[in-house]
Structure 1
Amino acid sequence: MAGMGPVPKDNKVRRNTDSFDSITLSEPSGVKAPKLRGYTKYSAATREWWDTWCSSPQASVFTPTDWQRLQMLAPLVEQYHQEPKTALLAEIRLNEERLGATVADRMRLRMKLAGPKEESKPKLAAVSSLSDRRKALED
């Protein structure tokens, strides 16, 4: 016997549809990333962090407010590299999460990375028997 309660409603129509589409991220070629203010005063690790964000696929969809957030985050990243603290790392992680830093973050934000362009492969015609398929693959 099944569980107690009313019979479930017919679920032909999904009522909680997504209100917006996913974003496909492309390589950031041509992205005009702003300069990090005081770039030369930062350590090599912080400059590498900034350059990584500038060349990331997410950069292709960044708006001025996203870049501003990274500008504000740079001193915290520098401070973390000088003296690592859990609280600093938590703040950095939280801000980077909002920008889609990890795979899980991008999935939650409905960001998809554009894969490499597939080379056109010849499609096999429909073959009726297994022996015909083998012959087609050998050719």
Structure 2
Amino acid sequence: MGGHIMAGRGPAPKDSSRRARANKDPMALRVIHAQPTEQPDLPDFDVQVEVDGELSSRSFVWPARTREWWAMWGESPLAAEFTSTDWDYLLDTALLHARFWNGDHKVAPELRLRVAKVGATPEDRARLRIQFAQADEADEKRTRPSARSRHAGLKLAE
């Protein structure tokens, strides 16, 4: 047997100069300074409705569930960094949310995609590489023994 025995499994890696594909370094991250802005109110606007074959204008009424959803976004820790363009994007998304809660379920896929882009769920935030600081603190508390467990088996001297 004239072969050499090498540690590990599989063939030795190719010399980088002989590789067919050279993955380029990822582009450098461009950092800009943005000014977070406050959440705007849901806007008042009129919609055209057909009544007895006639078009008329009436004020749009935001569903209660959409007003709650909008308030939830305003209280989210993510909102602390939202800029005017983020809020504008969410306002458009609020319209889809209102349509969904008014029974137009065809908007569900677009609504789901749009809220994912701003980190609505833990999975979305993981994909966006966002983690709430409270999660770290909660993990630390779970791994730290409680006072009760530290003193288990101890008895007071009488």
Q: Under TM normalisation by the shorter chain, which class is it? A: 0.5 to 0.7
1:43 aligns with 2:49: no
Where does the alignment leave 5 or more consecutive residues of structure 2 unmatched? Answer: 16-23, 30-36, 46-59, 138-149
Could you say which residue in structure 1 is the equivalent of 2:95? Answer: 75
State TM-score, norm by structure 2: 0.54
**Pair 1:6 & 2:25 matched:** no
Q: Give the aligned CA root-mean-square deviation in angstroms.
A: 3.7
Percent identity among equivalent residues? 32
2:125 is the alignment partner of 1:106: yes
Distance in 1, Cα, partners of 2:64 & 2:101: 10
CA distance in 1, matches of 2:80, 2:68: 18
Q: TM-score, normalised by structure 1?
A: 0.61
Higher-RCO chain (CA-CA 8 Å, sequence separation at least 6): 1
Contiguous gaps of at least 5 residues in structure 1:
10-14, 21-30, 119-133
Q: Size of the alignment, in residue pairs?
A: 107
TM-aligned CA distance change 1:101 to 1:19, over 3 Å: farther
Cα distance change, pair 107–7 in 1 and its aligned pair in 2 (3 A): same
Runs of 4+ with deviation above 4 angstroms: 1-4, 15-20
Aligned-pair CA distance for 1:5: 3.4
Name the residue aligned to 1:59: 79
Larger radius of gyration: 2
Match of 1:124 in 2: none
Match of 2:131, SS state, is strand
Change (3 A) 1:4 1:117: closer
